């Protein structure tokens, strides 16, 4: 659970590719519904022109072996292919969703049987099963629809079942049950509507696949009645002509099929893409916002007087501002943030959700989330402005001189590498040591953070550690490069109180014995009172107050600080 | 020992929940709740405190039948809930509602606030559409929001506002008991205070009883009349909030209280430290579950699970004899109680922390 | 899929799937071809002749009896005799498998490598022009019907440009195959020093491999890209950046191993598709593999052959997914027992 969610309230926007795909599908739908208006010749009549006529003004797509107009036939086939595809997808969607929802929600024997059946159907090569079933029930539009939708059902069952299983214990589903909804209503009114987006995305990808399978059946001659206009059978008809050079007989129906299949695909792909941030539009937005910010900063920098950082401060944040790129340029979230970190002192940055405390801290090492744009300010670390030649400057300090401890330790460690491997990698990336030396350092480090049996623990993976133990590993990882500044982002949030107390005590001891400078980002004033010497209070992206711990707690100057203190002391001290 | 004077609105006896867990082909029994007794008087607030794995949330989920308890009896307003189909359960829910932990996920994102608040009324009350509308407006004012919020979607509200909607939904059918499952733990501190005050005001006006599940001891101190401390599926200490906080007896309670940070400069605290890791709930020790971590441990602690014993107290500190439910201060730690009995001065032990 | 199940349970489940597949095929085959005697005799043949043939084929017994007999034969490894070729199905299949395997092997290797390269490049350069072009190609590959790609490639490279040979199978007409060592024509030619032959065989392979390779490449590239993007956004990558781990290590070690997990599942499906004989690709290039055998069998209602092929495909599927499970647990410690 990160506290950094720049796009939290923004609705997911629809990528351009979805509109493109939807546009083509819509045009196809109109065309296939009104073929007769567009087709210059009767699609099913032979001899409307000479055989094998190349594409020309009279025969846009040329003619085939019997002199039928390929353009008219391609249009006419759209009705067939589009119709079959759409019907099959709708049938598979309805049946598959219903079965999957029931299996996921009720589980039990129904679920077991259904999943076994689906596994059997999916063990067949799909096209082969389609061929076999069409051969069994005979050709014809209805039969093809039935067969192709049966093939699609297992996919829907699996998808919907997984969706329902993952959301079944979501609190709104539980809430719906507790207020007395009957189970079926919980399922159909509360759960299913919230699974629609992935379902529609999948249906679209499924439609792309169905169109190809339908044409494949036609190509083999197992689809609808041979001779009728259908893209697959048209391609099949032109197969031999290709070798003699008449490419258009197969070529144009193929392009039509590709167009239909690709548009469905684009819709599905775009809808299932999780972050619209990667779409064309926002990349452009980002660039524009960045350019705007750069010019603004250049003018501001020229106007600013040289500041001389105090020598006792290892890091000085001066007038740091920035925001996230939006349609109207940069939406500011940090306003002129200034504070300093005294050497060998533990400073707290305190604030509530949206105060910008984590964003400010991550910016120190250039780890602000994608989309964050700096609009001004300086970050002076040990006398050097880190922002003057970013990102190169970060490479020199990040990891080696400034280390970070993140909130969710288990999520912040790589799940597929052993803890030992990660420690050794981190050690060797920042210190000139051999692998064996790094191993020895890593073991010593685990001992320092009070992890019992460090040698055995080195060989374990992050998931084998409890939350508190994982946070100790994270701490070892941060300290292994012997940094000067340690930034701790909510290091104990989410841990149980007793564990939290132990981890905090360890942190304070390490910071003291190593003579480190530490910056603790937290929302918990209790933790601050017990551990820090300096305090920075932030709210809504602004620094409200800075001061010593004693002053902040006993004599707060800013009304917000006082309010925060009062809120933290729910019960008056005895 | 559970001497009930008047009728509690919620009375739970021997609640037990076991989960069968299958990992790598081996089946194991995880006892999440191991026989919990608890009763709540009308209009009372009882807090259930513990860390993760203590079983406090499982208790809440068993009571609301989100999961089936393995054993135990639950009486709600004199009626026994147990082995009920969803229809009977649905009727029982009329008197028992729940507010969930995460306001971001406890409201259906596809429903308007109005529909969210009106849904329980539709299910339980025979009201006309106009009456429901009117009631929804009253409710939203009661939780401190404006009726214009009724036409919004959950994503358009802040976390605190959403939690108020969650409370309004629970109040919509005027239940006798509301189970609050960590209702403030995902909120900012400033919002936390407002929500707690709202809850207290509602309780005064409606005389509704709360079962408050939380790990936040400050919240307990602020809102609870009585408190039950849970560790690994068992209640280890129980008593009025005053008694438990002023004279925490069970070593686990003492560790918990002393670990909680205090937002006070220079607050000197003596930490009562438990060493070691929490044992796995699948493979629990035979005797006291804290024996492996406890500094007071005696050989007999490892023999059998110690019962809840009355904590000796100075006469002045005895709770007033309000007719209601169990008021005594009890703890499942004979060595700690023996220490108090041997040294009566200890009864007036200064609080190990000052919350 | 429940990946924590022990191997014995998985194997039992796999056998159940195979039995289910075989049974379903048996039922379908009986519907397709209730009376296959027409394959053996002229339509004018009298009833006695037909009855004799039926008795010979075991078709005079009741359906359950036929099913029992069929299962009993299956257990003994007897798949029956193909109605159309007159050969045992087992030998039919084994004689065609090398062609399918040769084609599939090259297509899978090539498609996978290209898919990984394109997917990773696309993810790392997300949002760039190159990424957009690569994504466009990937969508095209996913949406293009195989048989049409094959035909268009033939038109361009064989008819128009004359760069590739015609669709006549594994070797040009009139050229004799090399002695069998691995059954892969190119490899065998090279091993026996017949370089001219190897060149011929490689030329014959080129277009079918490209056609099938596109079907491998496109889904892999898409999965790799989205998995890589997701991995690069993960908190553990942020940790690695914070710890000053070099970029290349982050991409190719830290992110890559996490990318492998979703990609393996996709790869399993694609391998199953390619090795079960891409029916249409083999058809277009007159490739003498099992796919074409299955296509002929269906068109001629040759149900012993259909049965045999389906059994092969089901076993292939089950084996691939068993291997997938093992691969999964070797990569992901969370799955490991």
Interface of B with A in 155-184 (CB under 8 A): 155-156, 159, 166, 169, 172-173
Q: How confident is the model at residue B350 (pLDDT cuts 50, 70, 90)?
A: very low
Q: How confident is the model at residue C33 (pLDDT cuts 50, 70, 90)?
A: low
User: pLDDT at residue B238 above 90?
Assistant: yes
**Taking CB atoms and an 8 Å cutoff, what residues of chain C touch A137?**
31
Nearest CA in chain B to A500: B259
Question: Angle A467-479/A419-430 helices, nearest 10 degrees?
Answer: 20
Q: What pLDDT score was predicted for residue A283?
A: 61
Neighbours of C254 (CB within 10 A): 23
User: pLDDT at residue A446 above 90?
Assistant: yes
Residue pair A335/A541 in contact (Cβ under 8 Å)? The answer is: yes
Q: How much is the pTM? A: 0.85
Please state the separation of Cα C4 from the chain's center in Å: 27
User: pLDDT at residue B22 above 80?
Assistant: no
Contact B196 A570 (CB under 8 A): yes
Q: What pLDDT score was predicted for residue C337?
A: 46
Q: Cα angle vertex B155, ends A3, B139, to 5°?
A: 120
Q: What pLDDT score was predicted for residue C116?
A: 95
Please give the residue that has the higher pLDDT: either B44 or C38: B44
Q: What pLDDT score was predicted for residue B352?
A: 40
Mutation site for A-interface testing, chosen from B236, B265, B349, B353 by largest number of A Cβ within 10 Å: B265
Q: What pLDDT score was predicted for residue A439?
A: 95
Q: In this predicted model, what pLDDT tens digit does every residue of C209-242 receive, in sequence order?
A: 999 999 999 999 999 999 999 898 899 999 999 9
Helix, strand, or coil (residue B179): strand
pLDDT, mean of residues B265-277: 78
What mean pLDDT is reported for chain C? 85
Please give the residue that has the higher pLDDT: either A9 or B22: B22
Nearest CA in chain A to B253: A498
Q: What pLDDT score was predicted for residue A299?
A: 67
For the domain spanning A24-272, the CATH number is 1.10.3720.10
Residue A205 has phi, psi (to 5 degrees) of -65, -40
Least confident of B115-119, B337-341, C54-58: C54-58
Q: Work out the minimum CA distance from B265 to partner chain A, whole angstroms.
A: 5
Neighbours of A78 (CB within 10 A): 25
Please give the residue that has the higher pLDDT: either B298 or A46: B298
Please give the residue that has the higher pLDDT: either C47 or A462: A462
Q: In this predicted model, what pLDDT tens digit does every residue of B130-181 receive, in sequence order?
A: 999 999 999 999 999 999 999 999 999 999 999 999 999 999 999 999 999 9
- Compare CB distances from A254 to C145, C243, C299 and report the shortest one's residue: C145
Q: What pLDDT score was predicted for residue B132?
A: 94
Nearest CA in chain A to B116: A176
User: pLDDT at residue A511 above 70?
Assistant: yes
Contact A564 B190 (CB under 8 A): yes
Q: What pLDDT score was predicted for residue A6?
A: 40
Mutation site for A-interface testing, chosen from C18, C19, C236, C265 by largest number of A Cβ within 10 Å: C236
* Cα A308 to Cα A327: distance, rounded to the nearest angstrom: 37
Q: What are the residue ranges spanned by the domains of chain B?
A: 4-77+176-353
Q: In CATH, which superfamily holds the domain spanning C89-301? A: MetI-like (1.10.3720.10)
Q: What are the residue ranges spanned by the domains of chain A?
A: 24-272, 310-568
Q: What pLDDT score was predicted for residue C34?
A: 58
Domain B4-77+176-353 has CATH 3.40.50.2020: no
Least confident of A45-59, B91-105, C208-222, C253-267: A45-59
Q: How confident is the model at residue C267 (pLDDT cuts 50, 70, 90)?
A: very high
Interface of B with A in 261-320 (CB under 8 A): 261-267, 269, 271, 273-274, 277
Q: What pairs with residue B73 in β-bridges?
A: B13
pLDDT, mean of residues C58-65: 78
Whether omega before C330 lies within 30 degrees of 0, making that bond cis, reads: no
CA atoms within 13 A on the CB side of C108: 20
User: pLDDT at residue A326 above 60?
Assistant: yes
Distances (CA, A) of A268 to A199, A344, B251, C249: 9, 55, 58, 33
Q: What pLDDT score was predicted for residue C1?
A: 42
What mean pLDDT is reported for chain B? 85
User: pLDDT at residue B27 above 80?
Assistant: no
Q: Which of A116-130, B28-42, C22-36 is most confident?
A: B28-42
b/e sequence B47-64, b meaning 16+ C-beta within 10 Å: bbbbbebbbbbbbbbbbb
b/e sequence B313-336, b meaning 16+ C-beta within 10 Å: beeeeebeeeebbbbbbbbbbbeb
Q: In this predicted model, what pLDDT tens digit does every residue of B274-294 receive, in sequence order?
A: 877 778 778 788 889 998 888
pLDDT, mean of residues C275-283: 87
Nearest CA in chain C to B24: C4
pLDDT, mean of residues A210-221: 90
Mutation site for B-interface testing, chosen from A9, A178, A553 by largest number of B Cβ within 10 Å: A178
Q: What pLDDT score was predicted for residue B314?
A: 60
Q: What pLDDT score was predicted for residue A108?
A: 83
Percent with pLDDT over 90 in chain C: 30
Q: How confident is the model at residue A277 (pLDDT cuts 50, 70, 90)?
A: very low
Residue pair C93/C293 in contact (Cβ under 8 Å)? The answer is: yes
Helix, strand, or coil (residue B39): strand
Cβ pairs A/B, distance under 8 A: 153
b/e sequence C213-238, b meaning 16+ C-beta within 10 Å: bbbbbbbbbbbbbbbbbbbbebbbbb
Please state the separation of Cα A366 from the chain's center in Å: 21
Contact C333 A463 (CB under 8 A): yes
Q: What pLDDT score was predicted for residue C111?
A: 96
Q: In CATH, which superfamily holds the domain spanning A310-568? A: P-loop containing nucleotide triphosphate hydrolases (3.40.50.300)
Please give the residue that has the higher pLDDT: either C51 or A215: A215
Least confident of A460-469, B297-306, C50-59, C327-336: C50-59
Q: In this predicted model, what pLDDT tens digit does every residue of A516-563 receive, in sequence order?
A: 999 999 999 999 998 999 999 999 999 999 999 999 999 999 999 999
Q: How confident is the model at residue A424 (pLDDT cuts 50, 70, 90)?
A: very high
User: pLDDT at residue B342 above 80?
Assistant: no
Q: Does B27 touch chain C (CB under 8 A)?
A: no
Q: How confident is the model at residue A304 (pLDDT cuts 50, 70, 90)?
A: low
Alpha helix ranges (H) inside chain C: 7-32, 47-57, 63-75, 89-124, 129-143, 146-153, 185-191, 195-233, 235-242, 247-249, 256-275, 279-284, 290-299, 303-331
Q: Work out the minimum CA distance from C188 to partner chain A, whole angstroms.
A: 30
Contact C9 B25 (CB under 8 A): yes
* Cα A69 to Cα A239: distance, rounded to the nearest angstrom: 17
Please give the residue that has the higher pLDDT: either C174 or B169: B169
Q: What pLDDT score was predicted for residue A414?
A: 93
Contact B24 C337 (CB under 8 A): yes
Q: Does B247 touch chain A (CB under 8 A)?
A: no
Q: What pLDDT score was predicted for residue A497?
A: 87
Q: How confident is the model at residue A13 (pLDDT cuts 50, 70, 90)?
A: low
Q: In this predicted model, what pLDDT tens digit does every residue of A246-269 receive, in sequence order?
A: 888 889 999 999 999 999 999 988
Q: In this predicted model, what pLDDT tens digit does every residue of A147-187 receive, in sequence order?
A: 999 999 999 999 999 989 888 878 899 999 888 888 888 99
Q: How confident is the model at residue B318 (pLDDT cuts 50, 70, 90)?
A: low
Nearest CA in chain B to A9: B155
Q: What pLDDT score was predicted for residue B344?
A: 57
Q: What pLDDT score was predicted for residue A2?
A: 38
Close Cβ partners of B168 (under 8 Å, ≥ 6 residues apart): B117, B139, B140, B142, B143, B145
């Amino acid at each position: 659970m990160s506290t950094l969610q720049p796009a939290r309230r923004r609705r997911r926007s629809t990528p351009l590719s979805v509109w493109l795909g939807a546009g083509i599908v819509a045009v196809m739908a109109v065309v296939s519904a009104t073929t007769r208006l567009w087709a210059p010749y009767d699609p099913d009549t032979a001899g409307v022109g000479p055989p094998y006529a190349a594409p020309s003004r009279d025969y846009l797509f040329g003619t085939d072996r019997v002199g039928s107009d390929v353009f008219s036939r391609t249009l006419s086939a759209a009705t067939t292919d589009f119709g079959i595809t759409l019907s099959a997808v709708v049938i598979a969607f309805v049946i598959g969703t219903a079965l999957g929802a029931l299996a996921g929600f009720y589980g039990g024997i129904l679920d077991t049987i259904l999943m076994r059946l689906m596994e059997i159907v999916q063990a067949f090569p799909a096209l082969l099963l389609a061929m076999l079933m069409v051969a069994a029930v005979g050709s014809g539009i209805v039969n093809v629809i039935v067969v192709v939708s049966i093939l699609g059902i297992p996919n829907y069952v699996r998808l919907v079942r997984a969706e329902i299983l993952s959301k079944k214990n979501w609190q709104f589903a539980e809430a719906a049950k507790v207020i007395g909804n009957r189970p079926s209503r919980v399922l159909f009114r509360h759960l299913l509507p919230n699974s629609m987006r992935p379902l529609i995305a999948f249906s679209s990808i499924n439609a792309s696949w169905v169109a190809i399978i339908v044409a494949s059946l036609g190509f083999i001659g197992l689809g609808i009645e041979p001779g009728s206009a259908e893209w697959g059978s048209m391609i099949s008809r032109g197969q031999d002509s290709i070798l003699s050079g008449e490419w258009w007989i197969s070529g144009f129906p193929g392009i039509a099929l590709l167009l239909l299949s690709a548009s469905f695909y684009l819709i599905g792909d775009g809808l299932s893409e999780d972050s619209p941030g990667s779409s064309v539009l926002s990349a452009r937005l980002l660039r524009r916002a960045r350019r705007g910010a750069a010019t603004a900063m250049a003018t501001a920098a020229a106007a600013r007087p040289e500041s001389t950082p105090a020598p006792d401060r290892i890091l000085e944040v001066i007038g740091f501002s920035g925001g996230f790129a939006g349609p109207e340029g940069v939406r500011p979230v940090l306003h002129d943030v200034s504070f300093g970190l005294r050497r060998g002192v533990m400073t707290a940055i305190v604030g509530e959700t949206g105060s910008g405390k984590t964003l400010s801290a991550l910016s120190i090492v250039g780890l602000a989330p994608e989309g964050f744009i700096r609009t001004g300010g300086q970050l002076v670390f040990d006398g050097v402005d880190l922002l003057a030649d970013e990102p190169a400057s970060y490479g020199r300090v990040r990891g080696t001189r400034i280390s970070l401890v993140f909130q969710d330790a288990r999520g912040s460690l790589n799940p597929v590498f052993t803890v030992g491997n990660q420690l050794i990698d981190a050690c060797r990336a920042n210190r000139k040591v051999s692998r064996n030396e790094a191993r020895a350092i890593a073991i010593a480090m685990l001992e320092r953070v009070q992890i019992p049996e460090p040698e055995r623990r080195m060989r374990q993976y992050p998931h084998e550690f409890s939350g508190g133990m994982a946070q100790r590993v994270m701490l070892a990882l941060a300290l292994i490069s012997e940094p000067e500044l340690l930034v701790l982002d909510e290091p104990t949030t989410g841990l149980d109180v007793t564990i939290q107390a132990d981890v905090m005590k360890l942190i304070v001891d390490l910071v003291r014995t190593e003579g480190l400078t530490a910056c603790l980002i937290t929302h918990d004033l209790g933790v601050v009172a017990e551990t820090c010497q300096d305090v920075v209070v932030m709210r809504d992206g602004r620094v409200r107050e800075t001061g010593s711990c004693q002053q902040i707690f006993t004599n707060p100057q800013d009304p917000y600080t006082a309010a925060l203190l009062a809120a933290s002391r729910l019960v008056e001290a005895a | 020992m559970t001497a009930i004077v008047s009728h509690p609105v919620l009375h739970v006896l021997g609640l037990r929940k076991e989960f069968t867990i299958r990992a790598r082909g081996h089946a194991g029994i995880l006892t999440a709740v191991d026989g919990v007794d608890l009763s709540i008087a009308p209009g009372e607030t009882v807090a259930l405190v513990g860390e993760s794995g203590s079983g406090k949330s499982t208790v809440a989920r068993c009571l609301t039948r989100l999961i089936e308890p393995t054993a135990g009896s639950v009486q709600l307003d004199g009626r026994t809930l147990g082995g009920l189909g969803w229809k009977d359960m649905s009727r029982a829910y009329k008197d028992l509602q729940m507010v969930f932990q995460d306001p971001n996920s406890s409201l259906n994102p596809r429903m308007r606030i109005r529909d969210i608040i009106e849904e329980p009324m539709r299910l339980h009350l025979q009201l006309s559409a106009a009456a429901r509308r009117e009631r929804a407006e009253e409710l939203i004012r009661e939780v401190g929001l404006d009726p214009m919020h009724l036409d919004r979607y959950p994503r358009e509200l802040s976390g605190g506002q959403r939690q108020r909607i969650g409370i309004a939904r629970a109040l919509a059918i005027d239940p006798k008991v509301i189970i609050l499952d960590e209702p403030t733990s995902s909120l900012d501190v400033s919002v936390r205070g407002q929500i707690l005050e709202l809850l207290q005001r509602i309780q005064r006006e409606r005389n509704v009883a709360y079962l408050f599940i939380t790990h936040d001891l400050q919240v307990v101190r602020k809102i609870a009349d009585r408190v039950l401390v849970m560790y690994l599926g068992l209640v280890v200490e129980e008593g009025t909030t005053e008694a438990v906080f002023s004279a925490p007896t069970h070593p686990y309670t003492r560790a918990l209280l002393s670990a909680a940070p205090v937002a006070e400069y220079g607050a000197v605290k003596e930490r009562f430290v438990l060493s070691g890791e929490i044992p796995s709930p699948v493979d629990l020790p035979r005797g006291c579950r804290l024996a492996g971590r406890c500094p007071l441990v005696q050989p007999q602690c490892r023999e059998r699970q110690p019962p809840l014993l009355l904590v000796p107290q100075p006469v002045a500190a005895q709770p007033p004899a309000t007719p209601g439910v169990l008021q005594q201060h009890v703890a499942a730690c004979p060595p700690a109680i023996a220490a108090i009995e041997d040294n009566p001065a200890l009864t007036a032990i200064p609080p190990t922390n000052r919350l | 899929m429940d990946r924590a199940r022990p191997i014995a349970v998985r194997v039992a489940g796999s056998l159940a799937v195979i039995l289910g597949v075989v049974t379903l095929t048996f039922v379908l085959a009986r519907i397709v071809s209730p009376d296959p005697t027409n394959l053996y005799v002229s339509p004018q043949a009298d009833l006695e002749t037909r009855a004799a043939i039926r008795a010979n084929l075991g078709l005079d017994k009741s359906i359950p009896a036929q099913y029992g007999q069929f299962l009993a034969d299956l257990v003994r490894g007897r798949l029956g005799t193909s109605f159309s070729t007159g050969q045992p199905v087992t030998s039919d299949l084994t004689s065609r498998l090398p062609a399918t395997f040769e084609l599939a092997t090259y297509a899978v290797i090539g498609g996978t490598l290209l898919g990984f390269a394109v997917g990773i490049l696309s993810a790392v350069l997300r949002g760039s022009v190159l990424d957009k072009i690569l994504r466009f190609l990937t969508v095209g590959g996913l949406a293009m019907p195989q048989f049409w790609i094959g035909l268009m490639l033939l038109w361009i490279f064989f008819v128009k440009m004359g760069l590739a040979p015609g669709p006549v199978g594994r070797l040009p007409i009139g050229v004799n195959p090399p002695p069998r060592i691995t059954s892969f024509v190119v490899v065998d030619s090279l091993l026996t020093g017949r370089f001219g032959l190897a060149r011929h065989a490689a030329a014959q392979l080129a277009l079918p491999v490209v056609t099938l390779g596109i079907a491998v490449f496109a889904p892999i590239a898409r999965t790799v890209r989205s998995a890589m993007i997701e991995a690069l956004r993960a908190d553990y990558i942020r940790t690695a950046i914070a710890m000053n781990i070099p970029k290349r290590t982050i991409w190719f070690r830290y992110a890559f191993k996490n990318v492998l997990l979703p990609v393996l599942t996709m790869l399993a499906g694609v391998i199953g598709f390619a090795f079960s004989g891409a029916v249409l690709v083999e058809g277009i290039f007159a490739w003498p593999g099992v796919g074409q055998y299955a296509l002929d069998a269906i068109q001629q209602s040759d149900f012993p052959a259909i049965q045999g092929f389906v059994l092969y495909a089901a076993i292939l599927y089950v084996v691939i997914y068993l291997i997938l499970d093992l691969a999964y647990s070797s990569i992901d410690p969370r799955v490991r027992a």
